Amino acid sequence: MTADPADDSAAPRARRRRNFAGARPVMDDVARLAGVSKQTVSRVLNDHPSVRPETRESVTAAMRSLGYRPSRSARSLASGRTRMLGVISFDAARYGPASVLTAINTAAQEAGYLVSSIALDTADRDTVVRALDRLSAEGADGVLAIAPQRRVGRALTEARADIPLVVLESEAGGGAAVVTADSRTGAREATGHLLALGHRTVHHLAGPDGWTSADQRLASWRETLTAAGAELPEPLFGDWSAGSGYELGRVLAGRPDVTAVFASNDQMALGVLHALHEAGRPVPDEVSVVGYDDIPEAAHLLPPLTTVRTDFAEIGVRSLRLLLNRVEGRTGPTPVEPLVPVELVVRRSSGPAPH
């Protein structure tokens, strides 16, 4: 007997036979079970505001009953978005960038997005443009770029990405949305803390020239000493590593006039502690040391390190929220994001100036 074309009962039977055979349920199955159109299911999947609460509940109940999991391609066709975000990072092995990347990945997963990451070794404009082009070709809805070096920020600005872009730890300018921590305040508090302990001046181990956070901390250290009428020593420049901190720390350890040191990150501060210990100059009895970032090991050094805590997780979460607002059309093209606050954490590596 031939099925009546007007009677669609044959189609559900065929669908049921296919599902019984183990096929994965599809959007048509959800729509049929919920008694709605396929378009309505699509609207529920994409949180469309026009769907009535009772309809939304009926559709989600059908999804649970069938064990339906929407594919990325289904979401992409329905919304015009791939729900994939791109991340460009530089120097991703360091504690700060690695922590930011972890926060971005966690927050993206919670928001229902996948992340495609590209780690770059060089920061020239052509390399940055190629990375942006690749992520755009992969269908990224938007891109987050961790750009700690000034030339990276400039390259991103010059690239003029045709998809939403948020830049982290940079002064990119050019209308780019930027999320960064308040390095100037952090350096001011670190330097001021040592001056308040009675130290005549504060020596500084700066990060590499051209790194946004290092340059900001260096400038703020100078401004704080100048405002206090303190002597302004020549800064020493490291490369963020404990090894460079150790080598520069040996130079400072050989100078009896040095009683306070502010290092631009905790790894360099660790090297300074090592050099001072070898030189027989106890911390903080003879020399006080302050670092920056508050790495997990900082509280367990000997002595525990006074440092400026940077909330890297907050930087990652804020940047992702800002990017999703742009991707999903909830904000203007150049939102102003407040600086992520920092906190001075006082431990036993800093103390009163020796008499």
Which domains does the chain possess? 10-78 (1.10.260.40), 83-180+312-340 (3.40.50.2300), 183-310 (3.40.50.2300)
How many residues does this entry show for the chain?
355
Give the single-character DSSP code of 300: G
Q: Omega into 12 within 30° of 0, i.e. cis? A: no
Q: How many CB atoms within 10 Å of residue 263?
A: 33
CA distance 127 to 144: 16
CA distance 54 to 35: 12
Tokens coding 313? 């997780």
Which one-letter amino acid corresponds to residue 213?
S
CA neighbours closer than 13 Å in the CB half-sphere of residue 86 = 25
139, burial (CB in 10 Å: exposed 0-12, middle 13-18, buried 19+) = middle
CA neighbours closer than 13 Å in the CB half-sphere of residue 220 = 20
DSSP, collapsed to helix, strand or coil, labels residue 87 as: strand
Q: How many CB atoms within 10 Å of residue 268?
A: 30
CA distance 262 to 292: 8
Contact 46, 38 (CB under 8 A): no
Tokens coding 232? 């302004």
Global confidence as pTM: 0.76
Contact 252, 315 (CB under 8 A): no
Tokens coding 262? 């502010």
User: Does the CA dihedral 264-270-276-279 come out positive or negative?
Assistant: negative
- The tens-digit pLDDT sequence of the chain (355 residues) is 344 333 333 334 333 333 433 467 888 888 999 999 887 887 787 667 778 889 989 998 998 888 887 655 455 545 556 789 999 988 778 888 899 999 999 999 999 899 999 988 876 778 888 888 888 888 899 999 888 888 877 777 777 667 888 888 877 655 567 888 999 999 999 999 999 999 999 999 999 998 999 999 999 999 999 999 999 999 999 999 999 999 999 999 999 999 999 999 999 999 999 999 999 999 999 999 999 999 999 999 999 999 999 999 999 999 999 999 888 887 655 555 789 999 999 999 999 999 8
List beta partners, residue 143. Answer: 86, 165
Tokens coding 24? 């994965």
| C-alpha dihedral (131, 132, 136, 137), degrees to nearest 10 | -30
